[in-house]
Structure 1
Amino acid sequence: MSQTVPTPARARKPWYRQLYVQVLVAIVVGVVVGWRWPDLGEALQPVGTTFIAAMKLLIGPIVFLTIIGGIISVADIRRVGLTGLKALTYFQVGAIVALATGLVAINVFRLGDGVDADPAKIHPTGNAEQYIKTGETQHWWEFFTHLIPKSFFSAFVEGDILQIIFLAVIFGIAIKAVGPIGDPIATSVKRLTDVVFKVLSFVMKAAPLGAFGAMAYAVGAFGLSTLTSLGSLIALFYATSILFVVVALGGLLALYVRLNIFQLFRYLKEEFFLVLGTSTAEPALPGLMRKMTYMGADRTTVGLVVPTGYSFNLDGAAIYLSLAALYIAQATNTELTIPQQLGLLAVMLLTSKGAAGVAGGGFIALTATLSTIGTVPAAGIMLIFGIDKFMSECRALVNFYGNAVATLVIAKWDHNLDLDRARAVLADPASAENSLLPGRAEEPVEEPKVVVAVK
């Protein structure tokens, strides 16, 4: 007879081989290099941009394949539409809360009072001038017309997540509709997804190098001295964002989903430092999708909510927009009544979507908002243009965590979240990663087993 002996769980990696430790060390070294040798820091820009470009190269295929795989695995196709509707509803409510949080904070502390900036003497230069021109000509309805790509491949070439989502949903529904004819395609999608995630694991090994280059360039190009000029505004933005994450997102996660947001921080620490080092949440999108699925969230829900949230669920950007708009109004001595501020909030709900995924999207959305209201000079964005780079990290982090929470909330709302599994993973991520828990996403289905013959 024979006896099956399970292979022992894999040993935990030493601390110095943990990706988040390596990225954290790279960030610190990058700050030192950019501070002490600014010219060298600026010269290292290609190191960071190349890594981000490599990650963006994989985002399109991952989003496309994951959404298709999720849709074709759903028994009732109507569930996909309901999940999308719930997600969009949640995103809008979250945006309103985030915008309101920023409005309250800047109204309480009024950091713009006393600046007394003369709008007539503010002259935009460089990229800021282009952002203002784009924002002033932007229309709220452009978001809908932008959904359809010029061609199938243009969405992937330009890296437009919204257009890729649109294509993936159409193709997923079509494959589902043709029945058994689509089975070979469904199998190919699963195999291609495994291959792309394996490529992702290779690229992620360069994450510390990418974070080092991006941070060295940021500090070398903009200088730490920039922080002192508008340090109070930066501090208020960070404090407001932390309060929003811990109280609003943390409270929602604890009361509705019954999970601890601080445990979620620990679980996503690798992605956290990756976002911090690169100043953008895009490189962390694939990792977030994989980890949310592994936690016990339904694959279809994750595939729809996470990519869509990257364009719609921008809590950090919403806080930034409301803070910046009111700061500019105060700094230029433009008085806004409560009804006008509420109108500002309503306009931001539309303009913030139109600039999703666009370079300088935050400034474009801010300019479009100020131009629509007409009472606050759009050129006032020059008052905060210099410190934007030091606020982008916080925006990206809040956006990232907002999407993690949104995924869990929508999965729970859809009754597609395995809470027992989620609690087990969050309680001890390292042990869970080494265990053979069922349903693990994007990993080998089963560890090899050793068969010992017993005579």
Structure 2
Amino acid sequence: MARPPSILPLAAAIAAGLALGIAAPATAVQTHVLSEVFIRLLGWIMAPLVFCMLADGAAALGRHRDAGRTGVSMVLYFGAMSLLSMLGGLVAGVVLEPGIGMAAAGDGGVALAHHGALAPHVLPDWMAWLPALQPNNLAVLALALPFGLAAGLRPGTRLLGWIGAARGALLAATRIVLWLAPAAAFGAMASAVGRSGLVSLLPLLRFVVAINLASVVFVFLVYGGVARLLRLPFGRFLVFLRNELALVASTGATLAALAPLSERLARLGCPRRLVDVVLPFSYSLNLSGTYLYIAMALVFLAEASDVHLGWHELALMFGVGLLSSKGAAGVAGSALATLVATAALLHVASADTVALLVAIDRTMKCRLLTNVIGHGLACVVLAARDGSLDREALGRELGTDQGVFDRS
């Protein structure tokens, strides 16, 4: 089982990184290599792992008559979450007004923007041998799904055994890489503080607070509402995912939680055949935290540029943002790239204003945590929907016997 490191080593690494960033900024900036290597290694492993998970799961799911119904339910659920998160981000931006008055900051804000935009995020030459894979999960899904379905039509073939063996080996490799998570957390924190400092980020603190507040409200209002409809103890569910959430928050990589989250959901009572299909699709199409961030950031950029937003402009943002946000699927750092492209398309802000968010992009842990919670909840919801959820296992793991998902 691929288990993430416990919270204490990660917390200690973050504290040490913070201290180094304050005490020796020049040295701290160089530690970004640690987090870069960690993300590169994960990118190297996760593309074939996602392929094996989906192919194996599709082969098993394809042998069941309910495969079509599960697929339809998955698409509808992901679509509903996407719409709600984009709408929530726009509403939160209009209500909280995080960018109002920021244009008055003038040259100071632009200087901060360029400082963040020019910060190095590349590996040194002596590490050029590391594969710079940034796999797009949509391409992996497009290949793995028909491959798995075709293999499932011939259950006696050795191909399925090879896929299962490869999946096990990749999970073991992921477990080894995850032990590097504290080092990655140390490097990410130290380099962020050393590069920008604490005081230099204060002009953007309002947006950081606003997006975190909006994410918390979305998680408890929307996800909590879904859990309440199914009588799932949502608070206990969040506690159950605490190690995966801590891992993602400290490393800044949602891919770090893919393998351990798969194992945890299987323990929770979600059948493996369903998890291996739903989870890779969720990582590509169910990114509510990212959609919320993109929508709210568009409003923030418009407000920071003194651009008036009427209903027509907001409706255009909603439509264009919903479509363009699908390009953020499965590629590290693509949320910021998608935001920049969307802002340029809508002409809501100048390039200098858009660059303001570069300096704080890696502090936007709220979108990553929201995504991971959404991935886990999606598997539980869809397992309950098709009647394959092991309710006894779920009650046992959450420490409750109060009739979870009792529909009576």
- Tell me the TM-score range normalised by the shorter chain: 0.7 to 0.9
Q: 1:278 aligned to 2:251?
A: yes
Q: 1:269 aligned to 2:245?
A: no
Task: Pick the aligned partner of 1:366 from 326, 333, 339.
Answer: 339
1:425: Cα distance to partner?
0.9
Gaps of 5+ in 1: 1-16, 130-154, 429-455
Task: Pick the aligned partner of 1:241 from 211, 215, 230.
Answer: 215
After TM superposition, the structure 1 = structure 2 runs for residues 406-417 of structure 1, keeping only pairs within 5 Å, are 406-417=378-389
Aligned to 1:438: none
Question: In 2, are the aligned partners of 1:103 and 1:326 still within 8 Å (CA)?
Answer: yes
After TM superposition, the structure 1 = structure 2 runs for residues 250-269 of structure 1, keeping only pairs within 5 Å, are 250-256=224-230, 258-269=231-242
Task: Pick the aligned partner of 2:363 from 383, 390, 414.
Answer: 390
Question: In 2, are the aligned partners of 1:227 and 1:390 still within 8 Å (CA)?
Answer: no
Question: In 1, are the aligned partners of 2:116 and 2:196 still within 8 Å (CA)?
Answer: no
Aligned to 1:33: 20
Aligned to 1:349: 322
Task: Pick the aligned partner of 1:422 from 370, 383, 394.
Answer: 394
Question: In 1, are the aligned partners of 2:244 and 2:260 still within 8 Å (CA)?
Answer: yes
**1-side partners of 2:301 and 2:181: how far apart?**
37
1:312: Cα distance to partner?
1.6
Aligned to 2:60: 73
Percent identity over the alignment? 29
Residue type of the alignment partner of 2:13: A
1:81: Cα distance to partner?
4.2
Gaps of 5+ in 2: 119-130, 401-408
Q: 1:22 aligned to 2:13?
A: no
Q: 1:191 aligned to 2:162?
A: no
Task: Pick the aligned partner of 1:230 from 204, 210, 220.
Answer: 204
Aligned to 1:112: 99
Go from structure 1 to structure 2 and tell me whether the alpha carbon gap of 1:211 and 1:83 turns closer, same or farther (over 3 Å shift).
same
CA displacement 1:37-81 (0-9 Å, x = unmatched): 222222222222222222222212221222222222236466444
**2-side partners of 1:30 and 1:107: how far apart?**
35
Q: 1:175 aligned to 2:151?
A: yes
Question: In 2, are the aligned partners of 1:92 and 1:349 still within 8 Å (CA)?
Answer: no
After TM superposition, the structure 1 = structure 2 runs for residues 83-122 of structure 1, keeping only pairs within 5 Å, are 83-116=70-103
**1-side partners of 2:178 and 2:99: how far apart?**
42
**1-side partners of 2:15 and 2:352: how far apart?**
35
Task: Give the alignment's TM-score, normalised by structure 1.
Answer: 0.76
Go from structure 1 to structure 2 and tell me whether the alpha carbon gap of 1:378 and 1:48 turns closer, same or farther (over 3 Å shift).
closer
1:122: Cα distance to partner?
7.0
Task: Pick the aligned partner of 1:316 from 251, 275, 289.
Answer: 289
After TM superposition, the structure 1 = structure 2 runs for residues 214-225 of structure 1, keeping only pairs within 5 Å, are 214-225=188-199
**1-side partners of 2:371 and 2:286: how far apart?**
7
Aligned to 1:207: 181
Residue type of the alignment partner of 2:174: L
Question: In 2, are the aligned partners of 1:122 and 1:379 still within 8 Å (CA)?
Answer: yes
Task: Pick the aligned partner of 2:375 from 400, 403, 407.
Answer: 403
Aligned to 1:295: 268
1:275: Cα distance to partner?
0.8
**2-side partners of 1:81 and 1:188: how far apart?**
26
**2-side partners of 1:228 and 1:282: how far apart?**
30
3-state SS of paired residue (1:309):
helix
3-state SS of paired residue (2:359):
helix
Question: In 2, are the aligned partners of 1:259 and 1:423 still within 8 Å (CA)?
Answer: no
Aligned residues: 383
Residue type of the alignment partner of 2:38: F
Go from structure 1 to structure 2 and tell me whether the alpha carbon gap of 1:61 and 1:375 turns closer, same or farther (over 3 Å shift).
closer
After TM superposition, the structure 1 = structure 2 runs for residues 328-339 of structure 1, keeping only pairs within 5 Å, are 328-339=301-312
Aligned to 1:159: 135
Go from structure 1 to structure 2 and tell me whether the alpha carbon gap of 1:306 and 1:119 turns closer, same or farther (over 3 Å shift).
farther
**1-side partners of 2:106 and 2:26: how far apart?**
34
Aligned to 2:298: 325
3-state SS of paired residue (1:333):
coil
Residue type of the alignment partner of 2:320: V
Residue type of the alignment partner of 1:108: V
**1-side partners of 2:286 and 2:8: how far apart?**
28
Highest CA radius of gyration, 1 or 2?
A: 1
Go from structure 1 to structure 2 and tell me whether the alpha carbon gap of 1:329 and 1:117 turns closer, same or farther (over 3 Å shift).
farther
3-state SS of paired residue (1:341):
helix
Question: In 2, are the aligned partners of 1:77 and 1:173 still within 8 Å (CA)?
Answer: no
1:347: Cα distance to partner?
1.3
Question: In 2, are the aligned partners of 1:71 and 1:77 still within 8 Å (CA)?
Answer: no
**1-side partners of 2:99 and 2:183: how far apart?**
39
1:126: Cα distance to partner?
8.8
Question: In 1, are the aligned partners of 2:58 and 2:145 still within 8 Å (CA)?
Answer: yes
CA displacement 1:387-419 (0-9 Å, x = unmatched): 22322x222111111111122112222222112
**1-side partners of 2:133 and 2:36: how far apart?**
17
Task: Give the alignment's TM-score, normalised by structure 2.
Answer: 0.85
